[in-house]
Amino acid sequence: MRSKIEVLKQLTQELKNLAQDSDFLFLIEGQNNWFTPEFVQLSIHSITENYLDEKALRNWLENYPLVEKDHVAIILAGNIPLVGFHDILCAYFAASRVSIKLSSKDNLLTKAVLDIWCKIDSVWAERMQIIERIELCDKIIATGSNTSYHYFELYFKKYKSILRKNRTSIAVVHKDMTEEELDFLIDDIFLYFGLGCRNVSKLWIEKGFELSRIFEASEKYNRFFQHSKYMNNYDYQRTLLLLNRIEHLSNNFLMLKADKGLFSAISVLHYEIFEDEKEFKSDLELHKEDIQCVIGRGYIPYGKGQSPQLADYADGADTMQFLVC
């Protein structure tokens, strides 16, 4: 019987083939307009490069005693393509049975990947099932909104669980930021239309930085003009700001608004100005339960927000340790 590493090597190639299937990509975008071919391909590339690399997998797995002992149920989110792949990968190595509830926003893409995986590994096909309703299990991993989080707490209180709610990411911008750093930061903001918890929705900007540089650098994403859902959100948010006479800056597909809040709407980016780094560091500590990533010098490098590695666990909760303990 082939090892799981060998299975994943074949899965890697199959995923790369899938990313080149234009008919399939068209089908996925038809189900969910946020899942453009560009971003589905990006997600698959990130998975194959960061999660399925053989050396990275072996180094990661060395840290855990892999015993398949529990039936694990996974409730997936669907905000960006294949967002739940890491949870499934952890369960592949560390659970005896796996029940997966797909998000309605991502049931075609994730199911297609699981179907390919099962064809490669018949044992996995017997261990894994896609379900509509969570029944008896030993452990639960559930990801959702703040509202669904409260339901998770209520319904799954008798289970060992990892429950996740809304988080977002922030970035620190220095007045001497280079053009390359800024170019990378724009990716952290715009990839996947800003819908991921690892996308930057708030900037802490050092006094002296020219805000116009954000708009200049963001022009590489002006293709969003052609995306109806994104522009509908932009038009709606712009109308609200204008009607309420809230000061903001705009380049017709992105708005910058001075706001203390971490979470911003699609097409809106919040910012605050700082002179002393102590100002934003105290804010980080105050809101640490709402922050997924901090991007910037001394933190996660610019441009790496949407490139998590195997040990970069969501919310800082070690999924593998949870499964094997």
| Per-residue model confidence as pLDDT tens digits over 208-256 | 999 999 999 999 999 999 999 999 999 999 999 999 999 999 999 999 9
Assigned domain for 249 exists: yes
Whether residue 192 is found in the same domain as residue 230: yes
Question: How many folded domains does the chain comprise?
Answer: 2
Whether residue 36 is found in the same domain as residue 184: no
Whether residue 77 is found in the same domain as residue 212: no
pLDDT of residue 2: 72
Phi-psi map region of 234: left, alpha, beta (phi>0 left; psi -120 to 50 alpha): alpha
d(CA 302, CA 186): 9
Q: What CATH number is attached to the domain comprising 271?
A: 3.40.309.10
Residue 135 pLDDT > 90: no
Assigned domain for 301 exists: no
- CA of residue 83 relative to chain centroid, distance: 6
Whether residue 20 is found in the same domain as residue 157: yes
| E strand or H helix at 291 | strand 291-295
Q: What CATH number is attached to the domain comprising 66?
A: 3.40.605.10
pLDDT digit string, tens, across residues 10-40: 999 999 999 999 999 999 999 999 999 999 9
Residue 138 pLDDT > 90: yes
Assigned domain for 157 exists: yes
Name residue 14's amino acid.
E
Whether residue 119 is found in the same domain as residue 80: yes
Residue 107 pLDDT > 80: yes
What is the overall mean pLDDT for the chain? 96
Q: What is the pTM of this model?
A: 0.95
Whether residue 31 is found in the same domain as residue 154: yes
Query: Where in the sequence is the domain holding 85, given as residue range(s)?
Result: 4-166
Pairing of strands 249-250, 255-258: antiparallel
